[in-house]
Amino acid sequence: MRQSYRTRRIALPPRYREFKPRGVHARKLRNTYLSIDEYEALRLADYVKLEHAEAAKCMNISRPTFTRLVEKARGQIATAIVEGCRLIVRGGNVEFERTIRRCRHCGEEKAVPMVSPESECPDCGSGDVEDLAREDALE
Ligand SMILES: [Zn+2]
């Protein structure tokens, strides 16, 4: 049984969830997975370049837990790049501070509070708008 742990706080859902080597059929690839908390730890440490102690506070977790997430994320990405795996970002015990609404018609993206009412695309007026945090909840 999985040990229970504190919910990790994530600023925004990841905008891209799958990466694969070019020119290889998906069915021939092995999958590697990056959980959303691992993704967020990597983003804060290596993209935003926060100190681990500060980044851990953003995610509402301890510094050692944060460091473990970063190391796991780096390992998964290294495996994907070196072995040519498909990398899929999903899962994890997470809650989002805000979400991103993406228009399926024109691609416009907008970060909004989690409780925002459904709305049309501000750019093209299409009602076909996906909520990137909601997609997570299903996985
Ligand atoms: Zn649109």
Q: How high is the pLDDT of residue 99?
A: 94
Coil, helix or strand for 27?
helix
Contact 16, 102 (CB under 8 A): no
Does residue 2 sit within a domain?
Answer: no
Mark whether 13 and 77 lie in a shared domain.
yes
Gap from CA of 93 to ligand 1 centroid (Å): 31
Mark whether 22 and 82 lie in a shared domain.
yes
Residue whose pair of structure tokens reads 């905008």 in the numeric block: 15
Total number of domains constituting the chain = 2
Q: Give the CATH number of the domain where residue 116 resides.
A: 2.20.28
Mark whether 91 and 127 lie in a shared domain.
no
**At residue 107, what is the residue type?**
G
Q: How high is the pLDDT of residue 4?
A: 58
Could you tell me the pTM of the whole model?
Answer: 0.88
Nearest 10 degrees: CA dihedral of 52, 86, 10, 70? -10
Q: State the Cα–Cα distance between residues 29 and 11, nearest whole angstrom.
A: 31
Gap from CA of 132 to ligand 1 centroid (Å): 15
pLDDT in tens for each of the 139 residues of the chain? Answer: 455 578 999 999 999 999 999 998 888 999 999 999 999 999 999 999 999 999 999 999 999 999 999 999 999 999 999 999 999 999 998 999 999 999 999 999 999 999 888 889 989 999 999 999 986 554 4
